[in-house]
Amino acid sequence: MIHDLTDFASRLNVSRETLNKLQTYVDLVENWQRKVNLISNKTLVDIWPRHIWDSAQLAGFIDDDVDCILDVGSGAGFPGLVLAMMCDAEVHLVESDQKKSIFLQTVIRECQLRAVVHNARIEKLQTLNADK
């Protein structure tokens, strides 16, 4: 089982830069969780296996020619933000909750991700032409 960044790194061949971004993301989730209910408090202690690893496994299903990924109801950004860190595609995150949208924008800025947050309900958006 994945317990932390070291375990994650030993299982997946990702760059040190990606690992740093993932750790920054985890730190932000832990800090923001006190103010905004991003994930269940019960799963916060298991964030690496329960959220990061589960999201990262999806990267293996994203072909190299995918340009745009859509994450609807993004919440805390799983799996969208992890995929933005691990894939070359631009990720569009759709989240109607303003506080969660601000959190997502903070992660994107802090981790310098190729991602866009849409603070809206999916039925209110025009077509985003996502590949996945």
Are 100 and 14 in contact, with CB atoms under 8 Å apart?
no
At 100 the pLDDT is 98
Encode pLDDT of 38-83 as tens digits. 999 999 999 999 999 999 999 999 999 999 999 999 999 999 999 9
Identify whether 79 is preceded by a cis peptide bond (ω within 30 of 0). yes
Query: Which residues, including other chains, have CB under 8 Å from residue 20's CB and lie 6 or more apart?
Result: none
Question: What residue segments make up the domains of the chain, in order of their start?
Answer: 5-124
- Label residue 114 left, alpha or beta by phi (over 0 means left) and psi (-120 to 50 means alpha): beta
Question: Residue 128 corresponds to which amino acid?
Answer: L
E strand or H helix at 99: helix 98-111
Nearest-angstrom CA–CA distance, 83 and 86: 5
Predicted TM-score of the model (pTM): 0.91
- Indicate the average pLDDT of the chain: 91
DSSP-derived 3-state class of residue 50:
helix
| Topology classification of domain 5-124 | Rossmann fold (3.40.50)
Percent of the chain with pLDDT over 70: 95
DSSP-derived 3-state class of residue 124:
helix
